[in-house]
């Protein structure tokens, strides 16, 4: 079995910045981490790999050269190799252009039996990329997965739904997006980290995926951010003393009445 895990380099949550002119995320090398839910996806891929003697795990990322580090992190956690999609043509991609590039890379990595991804990324918070990749690959997709079992060539999947859990059977190839409840990733050992540092990470550009430049990045992204701004919080507070209870209640009722609440 060949398992591909989609991983992403994201800013630490206190370091998320947007370009107000272009409406895109500012991505630098500083204070970037592996997307937390992708850690769960990698851990689950490695767990499934342990159940199947000849299984291999490939970590796949799209981003700047600095994103090699999240692929090495995935390798330290048990992935066998990593592939990076990088180059100026990929910059500024929305979920549509991103899914197009990732799907093309997965086709190049074929045969692929299972694709795992975090349910969402902490920078965009859309949860769209995984299902879009599955649609482009014509694969069945199961989202919000909290448990996976492998029985006689069939995936027994438990997913979170609004009123509880749902049991699903799916035959590979398939794509699953996982939630944090699926496992508790362990930090890699020093030996694994040192080995991962030496791992060669091939970089694929648009020409390697047979994609035109206008299908990728900002040019291939129909989504546009109209405006980026910080919300302004305005509070008008009136304080009442302990001997002004009656006045406070009267004022509260007046304000609620004025807003048609009561």
pLDDT, one tens digit per residue, over 71-91 is: 999 999 999 999 999 999 998
130 belongs to a structural domain: yes
222 belongs to a structural domain: no
221 belongs to a structural domain: no
- What pLDDT is stored for residue 78 in this prediction? 94
140 belongs to a structural domain: yes
26 belongs to a structural domain: yes
Non-local CB neighbours of 73 within 8 Å, separated by 6+ positions: 7, 34, 188, 196
238 belongs to a structural domain: no
Residues of the chain with pLDDT under 50: 29
154 belongs to a structural domain: yes
Q: What is the b/e burial string over 38-54, where b = at least 16 CB atoms within 10 angstroms of the residue's CB?
A: bbbbbbbbbebbeeeee
113-147 tens-digit pLDDT: 999 999 998 887 788 999 999 999 999 999 999 99
Contact in structure between 220 and 96 (CB atoms under 8 Å) = yes
Tokens (6 digits) for 236: 């008008």
Contact in structure between 83 and 68 (CB atoms under 8 Å) = no
226 belongs to a structural domain: no
CATH number at residue 45: 3.40.50.620
Non-local CB neighbours of 247 within 8 Å, separated by 6+ positions: 240
Number of Cβ within 10 Å of residue 212's Cβ equals 12
Structural domain count, the chain: 1
Domain that holds residue 64: 2-215
Distance between CA atoms of residues 84 and 93, nearest Å: 15
Number of Cβ within 10 Å of residue 124's Cβ equals 17
């Amino acid at each position: 079995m060949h398992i591909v895990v989609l991983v992403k380099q994201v800013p630490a949550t206190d370091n998320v910045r947007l370009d107000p002119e272009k409406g895109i995320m500012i991505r630098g090398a500083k204070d970037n981490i592996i997307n937390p839910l992708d850690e769960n996806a990698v851990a689950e891929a490695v767990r499934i790999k342990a159940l199947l003697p000849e299984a291999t795990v490939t970590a796949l990322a799209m981003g700047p050269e600095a994103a090699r580090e999240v692929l090495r992190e995935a390798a330290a956690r048990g992935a066998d190799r990593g592939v990076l999609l990088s180059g100026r043509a990929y910059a500024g991609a929305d979920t549509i252009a991103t899914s197009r590039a990732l799907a093309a890379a997965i086709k190049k990595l074929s045969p692929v039996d299972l694709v795992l991804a975090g349910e969402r990324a902490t920078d965009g918070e859309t949860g769209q990329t995984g299902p879009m990749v599955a649609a482009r690959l014509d694969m069945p997709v199961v989202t919000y997965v909290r448990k996976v079992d492998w029985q006689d060539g069939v995936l027994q999947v438990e997913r979170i739904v609004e009123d509880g859990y749902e049991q699903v059977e799916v035959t590979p190839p398939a794509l699953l997006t996982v939630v944090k409840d699926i496992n508790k990733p362990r930090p890699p050992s020093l030996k694994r980290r040192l080995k991962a540092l030496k791992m060669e990470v091939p970089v694929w550009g648009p020409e390697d995926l047979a994609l035109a430049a206008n299908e990728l990045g900002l040019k291939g992204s129909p989504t546009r951010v109209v405006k980026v701004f910080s919300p302004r919080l305005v509070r008008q507070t009136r304080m009442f003393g302990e001997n002004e209870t009656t006045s406070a209640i009267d004022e509260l009722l007046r304000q609620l009445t004025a807003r048609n609440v009561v």
